[in-house]
Structure 1
Amino acid sequence: MNALDYVDDQLSSVLKCWRFAPGGRPGTVSLTGRQYFADGDGVRVLIRVAGEEALASDGGVMAARLTDAGVDIAGSTRAGAAWREILAQFELRELDGRIVGRRPLRQADQLASDIASAMLTADGLRWLALPERESKLTKQLYDFLRAEKFSFTRRPTISLPRGSKVKPTARVTTPKREVLIQTVAGGEQGIEHALSLVQRIDRASYTFDQRLVLLKGVPGEWPADHLDLLAEHTPVGFSARMEQVQAFLGKGKKLPSPVEGL
């Protein structure tokens, strides 16, 4: 595919030092350059034309990386204050978990560079990761695994193909397979973190039935749209239906759809 088939002429004329690729949505371009995170993952910026302006974002990657590292950038936390200072420094802002910015088209190159620089700077906040605290749901999962005599590892480190790492709640070893489990006690951010984690695990060659997201309560307590999206990437279990989780782990029995009957 020729770059000009999907790059707006106005962008291609001002973005000189970037490599172009389709951005996944009509009119959106993915930019990569020579910048990389410390773990080897490349820095990617999404950009598109809106009238006489260029709009750019990190696609939510930075917030997901920090969440995966256990860094809380919300509210009045130390990491949250540093996060907002970094965005202000580059004249950017946060919108729905994404670093975003807008500039006149002639400044598109600088805008893309500022997004990338803000991402690299914010990645340094990973050292502010809070000590992991177990939720009641996580404790319930560990107690369940012990009671059912499943062999498991708490907070295993899973290496991805390009060198980055994720730490799900547990790795369970069954007679036929390993299963990585992520618990979510509540909140949209928890769902998004779990979704990001299972999508990354897919890159580490863990098959669909080697993943499990355990949600608190019953399906009716969660937004159906979120359940539907999550179920596209992983089996979903519920803390009020642990007998289904036991059958999934012990017998390889398929979990029912989380939106069934909603």
Structure 2
Amino acid sequence: MQIFKRLLRWALVLALTGLLLAIAAVGVAYWLVSPRLPSVAMLKDYHMQVPLRVLSADGKLIATFGETRRIPVDIDKVPDKLKHAVLAAEDADFYNHPGVDWHGIARAGWHVIISGGDKGSGGSTITQQVARNFFLSPEKLYSRKLIEIFIALRMENELTKDQILELYLNKMFLGHRSYGVAAAAEYYYGKTLDQLTIAQCATIASTFQLPSLVNPINSPKRMLARRNWVIGQMLEHRYISKAEYDQAVNEPNNAFPHEQ
């Protein structure tokens, strides 16, 4: 019994020492990197590049000129069912964490250790994805990941959660030259955001990770599996009822290109 207590005491001491060393290492890393971190203040009033849209006299869209499709939309104009679909798919704890999911990072770090160095993916919050998309390259480097974390923490300190989510919903590439959820809704369904069904919201949310590979036109089977998983996550997080879940998973994929 005495030996067990002694071992437990040493384990606690080692754990506390490891924690203090980790905190110190992060502090030193931030001190070294902070002079090179970009200012996030510009995100408070960031204007998205939009294509030229030609409308008829009665307000109908005739043509779009530009390399990208984008229709910026304010966060209060995004329906809750679409917000919930994106949160369920990408970062269900978004409104609670400080910009970084430390448990997710620990899991990703453990994966690197047990896989012999395979960086893999995962562990990135919506805030980190916005930081990466605006300021960093897509390279999988440990130094870049560290800078991404520091930028995310700075963003959370200077921006509201709704401002960060609005940037995310408008900035991300969602396949077929469509950037942002409003452009994706128009291209895939010919609809505005308020006209989307739960299944269509889940489909758009499903394209955030691999938009060129998993989208309702290029890969309908893979998308359907991903969509139904997202709908399941919406049910698990109580964003939708069981009846809404049953209706959504049984809705067929009716997406097709809506071109002018």
Q: Same fold (TM over 0.5)?
A: no
Higher relative contact order (CA 8 A, sep 6+): 2
Normalized per residue, the structure richer in strand is 1
TM-score, normalised by the number of residues in structure 2: 0.31
Normalized per residue, the structure richer in helix is 2
